[in-house]
Amino acid sequence: MSIIRKSNKTGFSLAEFMITLGLLMVLTASLFGTLTLSMRYYRQSNYSTDLQKAVRDSVEYMTDEIRQAVPDEDPGMLGNNPTGYKMITPAVSSNGIMYPNMNDKDTDYVMFTKPDYDYFDPGSSTWEPFDPRNYKRIRYYVKDINKLIREVTTFKADGTVKDKTSDELAVVQDGTITLECTMFTPGSTPSYCIQVTVVRDDKSYSLKSGCLVPGSAY
């Protein structure tokens, strides 16, 4: 008895092969259907997570940085134009946040000054508080409807702009992002509400966070 004969005897018949192939195709099709559906849900959920993360991170970065705000004490008394809250008309309290303020309590951007620690050193006897170089001006705003931008401006001693840089804090592809800032004065300490909303397709996520500026109280 030859090997070839034996092999032929125990191999697939065409019918068996067709049935197996058919079954495999059905199984694969159903598996792929399920997988495709799962992958779509996974992508959607991943995308939703990314949107939520973008909202959460944006609000957190902003509120963390707003807490570092200090009044720009440069009142323009050194012969330069004032660079901080003193440039706001009518005058507002020097609580660190420039916008929103008592004049504009609801804004679509937030602007404040924070120390530039290369110069800001109140403990030193030689520190000059009115030097505009002590402060950086930070501005968060929305550009091109889908980008949240953080802009940093530094100043020269004469109050003119030394440098201005912008970074994209969040970008929503094919969607929109909005920023709403509100000032409250419930007591003698102003507080701020920051709200970021992102929208894409039929999904919309929004997060609000309140914050105070340490040292802003009268």
Partner 1 sequence: MKALNQNNDKNWVQRLFENRGAALLLTLLCLTFLSVIAMGLAGMSISQSRISLNHFSGIQAYYVAEAGVNRARAELTRNVKWIPTDDFTGTISIEEGTGTYTLKVTPGSSNNSSTYKIWTVESTGTLGGYKRTITAILESESLSRYVMVIDSNPYLWGKSQTPNKYSGPLHTNGYFRFYGKPEFDSPLTSSNQNDSCYNSSKQQYVQGTTTTDDPSMFYRYIYNYTQDQPVGASGTNNFYFNGGQPTKPFPDSVDEQKNNATQVIEGDAVITMLSSGNMEIICDAGNFVYPCDDTTIFVTGNAEVEGDVKGSATIVSKGSIFITDNIVYADKSTDSLALIAEDYVVLKTDPNDVRDIEIDAAISALNESFYVDKYYSGQARGELKLFGSLMQKKQGSTGIFDFSTGKLVRGYSQNFVLDPKFLARPPRNMPVSGKIRVKSWKDAGAFQ
Sole window of 16-24, 174-182, 191-199, 203-211 interacting with partner 1 (rule: CB under 8 A): 16-24
Sole window of 110-118, 154-162, 173-181, 195-203 interacting with partner 1 (rule: CB under 8 A): 110-118
Please identify, using beta-carbon distances, which residue of 61 and 205 lies nearer to partner 1.
61
Pairing verdict, β 147-155 and 161-171:
antiparallel
The interface with partner 1 within residues 51-70 (CB under 8 A) comprises 61, 64-65, 67-68, 70
Question: Residue 58: which H helix or E strand, with range?
Answer: helix 14-66
**Are 139 and 69 a contacting pair, CB within 8 Å?**
no
The interface with partner 1 within residues 115-134 (CB under 8 A) comprises 115, 117, 120, 122-125, 129-130
Q: What is the rounded distance in angstroms from the CA atom of residue 71 to the CA atom of residue 62?
A: 17
Question: Judged by CB under 8 A, does residue 214 bind partner 1?
Answer: yes
Judged by CB under 8 A, the residue of 21, 29, 31, 157 near partner 1 is: 31
**Are 74 and 83 a contacting pair, CB within 8 Å?**
yes
Q: How many CB atoms lie within 10 A of CB 55?
A: 21
Judged by CB under 8 A, the residue of 58, 83, 94, 153 near partner 1 is: 94
What's the CA dihedral at 141, 178, 170, 134 to 10 degrees? 20
Question: Judged by CB under 8 A, does residue 11 bind partner 1?
Answer: yes
Judged by CB under 8 A, the residue of 55, 92, 97, 194 near partner 1 is: 92
Question: Judged by CB under 8 A, does residue 183 bind partner 1?
Answer: no
Question: Residue 6: which H helix or E strand, with range?
Answer: helix 3-10
Question: Judged by CB under 8 A, does residue 2 bind partner 1?
Answer: no
Residues ≥6 apart with Cβ < 8 Å to 177: 54, 58, 142, 145, 146, 147, 148, 170, 196, 197, 198, 199
The interface with partner 1 within residues 135-164 (CB under 8 A) comprises 138, 150
Strand residues in 11-127 grouped as ranges (E): 97-99, 106-107, 110-115
Binding site for partner 1 (CB under 8 A): 3, 6-7, 10-12, 16, 20, 24, 31, 49, 61, 64-65, 67-68, 70-71, 73, 75, 77-79, 86, 90-94, 102-103, 114-115, 117, 120, 122-125, 129-130, 138, 150, 185, 187-188, 214-215, 217-218
